[in-house]
Structure 1
Amino acid sequence: MEWLAKNAELIGILFMPVTYGFIGWLTNVMALKMMFYPLNFVGLKPPYLGWQGIVPRKSTGLALKVVNILSEKLIKIDDFFAKIPTDKLADSYKPLLKENIPNMMHRVLEAVPAELKAKVSANEGKIVAKALAESEQRLDQITGHLKEDVGKVFSFKNMVLRNLTGENTHLLVDLFQEIGKKEFKFIGASGWYFGTLFGLAQMLIWWLYPGAWTLPVQGIIVGYVTNWLALIMIFRPMVETRYLYFFKYQGLFHRRQVEVSDKFSTMFAEHVLNGKNILDEVLYRRISRTVVETMNDDIVQELKADGADAGAIAAFEKASDGSRKEVAAELANRLSEASETMEKLINRSMNVKQTIYNRMKDLPGEDFESLLRSAFQEDEWILIILGAVLGAIVGLGQMFYMLAFAAG
């Protein structure tokens, strides 16, 4: 213990590489965590008194960038839908509608006032038949548009936003983390490497000029430069370049273009552009709304024909508003649950994963880079400044240690 006390300053000097390696690692890891978490704002008053991960906070803009990259560089939505067997699609759902619409009618009738229900119930069969005819007609229209003019019933942008933002923002975070997993590990590890080198330099500086103020300054430099260098080494150079005649290097992300293309195309096909999401976007919800709206309109007509006054009709529509939404959602779910075979058929027909993979792996470097860098490019300065601030805090701690023992 006596030896430790006498050599405390020497120990502090020898630990400088470790300290600065820790600064580099800590600032880089913290910056990465703050890119993605928390998913929801934590603090007193958004957006300043608190924090939300950069990706969740900008999820809508980032999802739109994904849409732009895909639609401009990788896929043509019309080509995908041209492969869907629309005749089988229409034929497969008509039996499901016949099976489920009568049950849905009973649910809607529950909101009809008891004193008016008898007249409406007497015409239940007619209302069900009309709802079935309307839904089948709507189904034929939708499947026809899928073949001839998909833009009338399908919005690629809306589907991506629905599946990668809001309550599904975690999928966007997972997407960026998966395609950049190795780069993010490198960012953390590089903090140790670069920080240790800076620490060795600081040892020399301290022997030549033991100025306490140099420690927090060095901490700022380490935190700033390690974050900046890590980002540079991920994306530059885009193509393999030889340095000093023997050392070859290529940006880590660009070096993994084939691997990243496989990961991105797999996740996008599984979680976004798949049969289930497509059918939900173009068919389930549309057909369900058609059924419920037709039933509601016919019930109102029956009430009017039975002499119900405007107040009673308004009371029915107000009382049935919630149940109509529930019935539409339930019918959409039933259609979805019974559609596993059709969803698999669409997935096989469209072959989204292979199409995206084949085109992405051959993208020019600048276009490919935007896929990951868009996640934090606008706020790179925040990550770099954060590194400097954290570095300054650790450097101040080391400064107080050295002052205390140097003075002793």
Structure 2
Amino acid sequence: MSGLNTPAEAWDVFVAHPWVLLLMPVVSAFIGWITKVVAIEMVFRPIDFKGIGPFGWQGQLPRRAAKFGAEAADIILDNVVDPRELVDRLDPQRIATECDDIMVDAINSVARDILGPRWDQVPARAKALAIARARSRAPQMVANLLQQAQDNIDELFNISYIVTAELIKDKRLLVDLVRGPMGPVMTFMKRFGLVFGFLVGLLQMVIFAFTESHLVIPIAGLIVGLVSDWIALQMVFEPKEEKRYFGLVKWQGLAFAERDHFITEYAKIAAEKVLGPELILGALLDGPLADRLFALVHQEVEAAIDAELGLVEPLVPAAIGTARYEALRRTVVAAASSRVHEASERLGPYLIEALDVERTVEVSLGALSNEGLEAMLRPVFKDDEWLVVVIGGGLGFVVGELQVFLLTRLGGL
């Protein structure tokens, strides 16, 4: 037909197909909702690339794990947590006590290497005295180790590197660190898509009644998918401060309106999964600090054996870097590292209390300006924002075309 229907003719169209037209805002609302779900999932999923050859998709965040992992580590450690302060909170006596059996195993291994078969022939009492002397020095060894960590924080106790490596390796952890705290933002985006789609659907229904043009339907779907994605993303970050619109509606970018929730959840995840006891102990019992710890243990065991057994011959191999010495070092360090999980379970409650990472992160993030918070969150959505919006529009158009097919085949329009 040519031209537009009169209001009476438009009403006749509605009366002739009431349920078909009333379904338009419902389907449009679905389009608004599903395009938001897809947009959100495209940010976080799949964790690993899915597809054939170069054609496929990987979540924006996992795909850029190296970039976002480094940024997250920098945010936590540069603006939030001072590694030196963390080290300073640790009590060497408490750590030595909780890790006593790990230390005893290390002492036995070193002593056996120093004396060879003679260690097994040493009287039990003399052996016990030598071990006890070395064990009594454990708190001081740990204190020395922590002091070395503080003095050479970037070289020996580079938590930034450790956290970055962990977030890059464990992409699910990186996703949890961002997605968990942003729950209210995700919920808002879905609800906004639903409401926006429904309103556009009402307009679509009216326009169709006046035009009876099937083209209106996929175009409406395109608008819902394209425009609502873009508007929803803007509403997350704009405005930074609360504003009143049209003298009636007050609005503040949801990321800032919900900043307290975000900060609380982010701090909780950072404390439990990112800077938890296992990672801290892993940093102490692995890498350069593990070598320093082994050297300290070796030195103390030598002194204890010399004092208790009265040995005067050189106890250390003439060439300190011999294969035998290096093999022992690797063995002891690997054994200690393998028990990080066990040690973290024992020390966990103490480390959580002493380090108080959750409270530290919460207070520090709370001090960030809204601009600083946006700089922290916006890159997650910004890099491929255009692609997400385009795909949302394309999906809306496709669903609209499917709606046309169903209306013409089943609805008789």
TM-score (norm 1): 0.76
The aligned runs of 1:387-398 (5 Å cut-off) are 387-398=392-403
On the 8 A contact 1:90/1:140 being kept in 2, the answer is no
Deviation for aligned residue 1:34: 2.0
Deviation for aligned residue 1:198: 0.7
SS in 2 for 1:39: coil
On the 8 A contact 1:284/1:335 being kept in 2, the answer is no
Measured in 2, the distance between the counterparts of 1:324 and 1:399 equals: 73
User: Match for 1:212 among 211, 214, 232?
Assistant: 214
CA change 1:373–1:104 in 2 (3 A) is farther
Q: Report sequence identity in percent.
A: 27
On the 8 A contact 2:237/2:254 being kept in 1, the answer is yes
Measured in 1, the distance between the counterparts of 2:347 and 2:368 equals: 32
Does 1:36 find its partner at 2:44?
yes
The aligned runs of 1:47-62 (5 Å cut-off) are 48-62=54-68
Does 1:17 find its partner at 2:25?
yes
SS in 1 for 2:51: strand
- Structure 2 unpaired stretches of 5+: 1-13, 122-126, 299-316
Deviation for aligned residue 1:223: 0.5
Q: Deviations over 1:104-126 (max 9, x none)?
A: 999xx9xxxxxxxxxx9547779
User: Match for 1:143 among 137, 141, 146?
Assistant: 146
The aligned runs of 1:72-87 (5 Å cut-off) are 72-86=78-92
SS in 1 for 2:244: strand
CA change 1:178–1:185 in 2 (3 A) is same
1:113: which partner in 2? none
Measured in 2, the distance between the counterparts of 1:243 and 1:7 equals: 38
Does 1:279 find its partner at 2:281?
yes
Deviation for aligned residue 1:264: 0.9
Measured in 2, the distance between the counterparts of 1:33 and 1:265 equals: 23
SS in 1 for 2:368: coil
Measured in 1, the distance between the counterparts of 2:110 and 2:216 equals: 75
Deviation for aligned residue 1:203: 1.3
Deviation for aligned residue 1:158: 1.5
Q: Deviations over 1:239-263 (max 9, x none)?
A: 1111122221112221111222111
Deviation for aligned residue 1:19: 1.2
User: Match for 2:238 among 223, 236, 239?
Assistant: 236
On the 8 A contact 1:43/1:49 being kept in 2, the answer is yes
Measured in 1, the distance between the counterparts of 2:344 and 2:399 equals: 58
Measured in 2, the distance between the counterparts of 1:233 and 1:325 equals: 55
Deviation for aligned residue 1:328: 4.6
1:156: which partner in 2? 159
User: Match for 1:270 among 253, 269, 272?
Assistant: 272
On the 8 A contact 2:294/2:333 being kept in 1, the answer is yes
On the 8 A contact 1:89/1:143 being kept in 2, the answer is no
Q: Which amino acid aligns with 1:53?
A: G
2:196: which partner in 1? 194
Does 1:331 find its partner at 2:360?
no
On the 8 A contact 1:216/1:399 being kept in 2, the answer is yes
1:115: which partner in 2? none
Q: Deviations over 1:170-218 (max 9, x none)?
A: 1111121211111111111211100011111111221222222222222
Measured in 2, the distance between the counterparts of 1:324 and 1:214 equals: 74
Measured in 2, the distance between the counterparts of 1:23 and 1:358 equals: 40
1:250: which partner in 2? 252
Measured in 2, the distance between the counterparts of 1:348 and 1:380 equals: 40
CA change 1:407–1:342 in 2 (3 A) is closer
On the 8 A contact 1:16/1:200 being kept in 2, the answer is yes
Q: Deviations over 1:45-65 (max 9, x none)?
A: 2xx311111111112211111
1:376: which partner in 2? 381
SS in 2 for 1:75: coil
The aligned runs of 1:310-329 (5 Å cut-off) are 328-329=333-334
SS in 2 for 1:375: helix
On the 8 A contact 1:183/1:252 being kept in 2, the answer is yes
SS in 2 for 1:179: coil
Number of aligned residue pairs: give it. 368
TM-score (norm 2): 0.75
Measured in 2, the distance between the counterparts of 1:363 and 1:105 equals: 52
User: Match for 1:181 among 151, 173, 183?
Assistant: 183
1:355: which partner in 2? 360
1:299: which partner in 2? none
Q: Which amino acid aligns with 2:151?
A: E
Mean Cα deviation higher: 382-391 or 204-213: 204-213
Does 1:97 find its partner at 2:99?
no
Q: Which amino acid aligns with 1:96?
A: I
On the 8 A contact 1:194/1:226 being kept in 2, the answer is yes
Measured in 1, the distance between the counterparts of 2:259 and 2:72 equals: 16
CA change 1:227–1:277 in 2 (3 A) is same
Does 1:399 find its partner at 2:404?
yes
On the 8 A contact 2:285/2:340 being kept in 1, the answer is no
Question: What is the RMSD of the two structures over their aligned residues, measured on CA atoms?
Answer: 4.0
Measured in 1, the distance between the counterparts of 2:203 and 2:44 equals: 33
